[in-house]
Amino acid sequence: MFGHMKTQPIINVRSGCSIEEAIQTLVRATDGAQPVRWLEFPSAILLCVTVTTEPNSGAFYVLDRKRGVWLWVDFEDEAYGGYSLSDFDRLVHEYDLLSLVERPGLLRAASGWILESGKPAEMAFNA
């Protein structure tokens, strides 16, 4: 699980909008998926959303506050059905995702990042 990670911009938010407004914009863009966990940083917000009836349908998003854009966090790990809250907690506590979220400009690296349990995030290289 996890491993190679890339992000993709999915929606812009109004400059200077509140956190609540930014989250509601994402909820509308994800067909009503509900926020179940989030962490706030001065430069970003990490959010986990799920479909209410499917607790293992979670997806992860980062709001780059400076640029006003939501980024979808995508892992090449074959978790096609989505993630659970325990997956989110493991990603936050065992993997080095937060070092990237705190500096969301790093998430735009075209080659992506490699996340492994207990190791610092490592920039991936295109072959």
What is the average pLDDT across 96-100? 93
Cβ contacts of 100 within 8 Å, gap of 6 or more: 106, 107, 113, 121
User: Which pLDDT value is given to residue 126?
Assistant: 65
Give the DSSP per-residue string, 62-78: EEETTTTEEEEEEESS-
> How far, CA to CA in Å, does 15 sit from each of 20, 40, 53, 95?
13, 17, 33, 31
Q: Which helix (DSSP H) or strand (DSSP E) does residue 28 occupy?
A: helix 19-29
Count Cβ atoms within 10 A of the Cβ of residue 37 and give its class: 0-12 exposed, 13-18 middle, 19 or more buried.
middle
- The pLDDT of residue 127 is above 70: no
pTM of the model: 0.90
Looking at residue 76, its pLDDT comes to: 85
Specify the pLDDT at position 7: 94
Give yes or no for residue 64 having a pLDDT over 80.
yes
Please provide residue 17's backbone torsions phi and psi, each rounded to the nearest 5 degrees.
-70, 160
